Structure 1
């Protein structure tokens, strides 16, 4: 009887299967516990292997533990960094507050120093005036004011002769530029019904063009209201002080004829003490 190729393979593998089966029953070949044989029809199928999971469990546990350790480390480092950051923030805040306080103190010190410098400057000016007064003095009967000495006569002269009298003594009829100087001179005058004193101004050269005895032109002045009025050819100026207390020193100038005989006021520069 002839066998086909398929039948020949079946017989060959079948015989092999029978021998394995016989060996199994005879105890000559032991099957491993984890290997199972399965029959199927005319042949056989190789067994599936059940691999132990113990190594994988160990690796998983190790990875889990490592992850927990790493997480714990990160938490600890984060807390430490946060504490350090808070310390730095506190230090920065303290430094900022300290700097602001120092800045305020410095500003106060600068203000105080500025005021102190102003006080020193004022004291310096007063001291210079005192030294100048000690170094320079006026002759007897001459009154000091700033850089000048003033003489108030008790004799009467016409305006021209008054100027000559002052020049013979190294001065001139008073030239008055400031309200302070005018007030000082006026306060030295004696009150009376109409006490009048020549000073160094006139418009003899050109009517209405008032000039001082040094040739400079008058700027402003301390005229009484309505003066000068050139009522009767009045070309020379004089100061009046009366018994009327409401009169003011800064409005006490009048013009009058230069030929009138009146007391007068001389002025000259304060001489040095050595010259005296």
Structure 2
């Protein structure tokens, strides 16, 4: 409407010639209206930008939400499974340790029972002996003035030593080739038949002593023995199926904790006289 007023020719003149309007008293200035912009205009451009940003924001929100939803669930399950595995592993280790302790305790009880049983073995002559002759208990073998027991029970070296002591003797002390050969002949052959006897370097490495504390002189070691391969502080005799192995080269050293059969020795007793 204002544009039409401005566009009318002579509008100002028309007002100036009107008798009821005094220009000098009330000047009227023409009203200018800003011209319209061609094209879409700034509001349309802003609308497009806002719509684009909204779409980008919506996509970002959806992506973040999906990631958040998946990650805690996956991590939670993984953490739970890991904790569960750790608990199961701890329980398994505890059970293994407990079983090992029980096994050790049972083995000690077995050794104690064997030692007690040994004290109840009656001494009986192996054969009818003349008065004054030396005799050995049943299952003991006489050589010179000593009796020898080839025990097939398996014990550690130290428990074998205790067993022999409980039977009134000690692990065998072998001083001569004749004695060594006698005992060797009593041993059964096998894939690796090994028997403890009374020799150790447990006090000082490479200083071998008999169970009575005397030093070992010489001996009947296999070639390259003793070698202390894995903390081997006790001696045993080996008799295998290999015929090339001989009595006077059959000593080996081994860890004292191994469970092997053993050889006991004790003094023979004199047969009682039947004279009245």
Which residue of structure 1 lines up, in the alignment, with residue 226 of structure 2?
228
* Map of 1:182 onto structure 2: 180
User: What is the aligned counterpart of 2:260 among 255, 259, 262?
Assistant: 262
Contact 2:131 2:272 in 1 (8 A): no
Structure 1: segments with no counterpart, 5+ residues: 1-130
* Paired position in structure 1 for 2:161: 163
Larger Rg over CA atoms: 1
Output aligned runs, 1:5-16, within 5 Å.
none
Task: Name the residue aligned to 1:32.
Answer: none
Change (3 A) 1:133 1:147: farther
**Which residue in the other structure is 1:140 paired with?**
138
TM-score norm. by structure 1 comes to 0.51
2:196 paired residue among 195, 198, 203:
198
Map of 2:239 onto structure 1: 241
CA apart distance, 1:167: 0.5
State the TM-score, normalized to the length of structure 2: 0.51
Deviation per residue, 1:98-125 (Å, 9 max, x gap): xxxxxxxxxxxxxxxxxxxxxxxxxxxx
Cα distance, 1:191–1:136 mapped onto 2, change above 3 Å: same
CA distance in 2, matches of 1:180, 1:133: 27
Q: CA deviation at 1:134?
A: 5.9
- Deviations 1:223-273, CA, capped at 9 Å, x for gaps: 000000000000000000000011110000000000000000000011121
Distance 1:180 1:262, change over 3 A: same
Question: What root-mean-square deviation, in Å, do the aligned CA atoms of Structure 1 and Structure 2 show?
Answer: 1.6
Instruction: Decide whether aligned partners of structure 1 residues 132 and 163 sit closer, same or farther in structure 2, where only a CA change above 3 A counts.
Output: farther
